[in-house]
């Protein structure tokens, strides 16, 4: 394993037990192919508060959620968080196995998180709406 120095803000996140199991399995299976993003998703799952499927608040980003967020560059984006095979940027569907997708899972409205893009640049986003 690699040594990681966490320099980003990590707010409390919530995931359903079903999402937790499926995402942990997905990240573990992706460690060889996408090591950085898969490890980031595993780290997110390790720190998540896991609750029963019906107990996730409506304003929390889960798989299949459509989320609106603002970036530190001033742009507002609306995307649906999906599994890799469902990704379609033309249809505004982003995979949870992307840096921004892994950052979004479990956040609630008003929360912010710092994340690192594949090009190594650091960004921050704030969730403004979850549908």
pLDDT digits (tens, 9 = 90+) for 112-129: 999 888 888 899 999 999
Alpha helices in the chain (DSSP H): 17-29, 35-47, 99-104
CATH architecture of 14-130: Roll (3.10)
- Do residues 105 and 41 touch, judged by C-beta distance below 8 A? yes
For residue range 17-49, what is the model confidence (pLDDT) as tens digits? 999 999 999 999 999 999 999 999 999 999 999
36 φ, ψ to 5°? -70, -50
The model's confidence at residue 9, banded by pLDDT at 50, 70 and 90, is low
How large is the average pLDDT for residues 85-104?
96
**Listed residue (89, 84, 73, 83) closest to 125, CA to CA:** 73
- CA distance linking residue 131 with residue 10, whole number of Å: 22
């Amino acid at each position: 394993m690699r040594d990681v120095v966490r320099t980003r803000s990590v707010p409390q996140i919530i995931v359903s037990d079903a999402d937790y199991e499926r995402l942990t399995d997905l990240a573990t299976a992706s460690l060889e192919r996408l090591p950085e993003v898969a490890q980031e998703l595993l780290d997110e799952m390790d720190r998540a508060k896991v609750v029963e499927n019906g107990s996730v608040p409506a304003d929390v980003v889960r798989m299949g959620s459509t989320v609106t967020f603002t970036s530190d560059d001033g742009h507002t984006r609306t995307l649906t968080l999906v599994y890799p095979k469902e990704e379609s940027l033309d249809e505004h569907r982003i995979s949870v196995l992307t840096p921004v997708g892994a950052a979004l899972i479990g956040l609630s409205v008003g929360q912010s998180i710092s994340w690192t893009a594949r090009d190594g640049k650091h960004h921050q986003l704030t969730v403004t709406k979850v549908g």
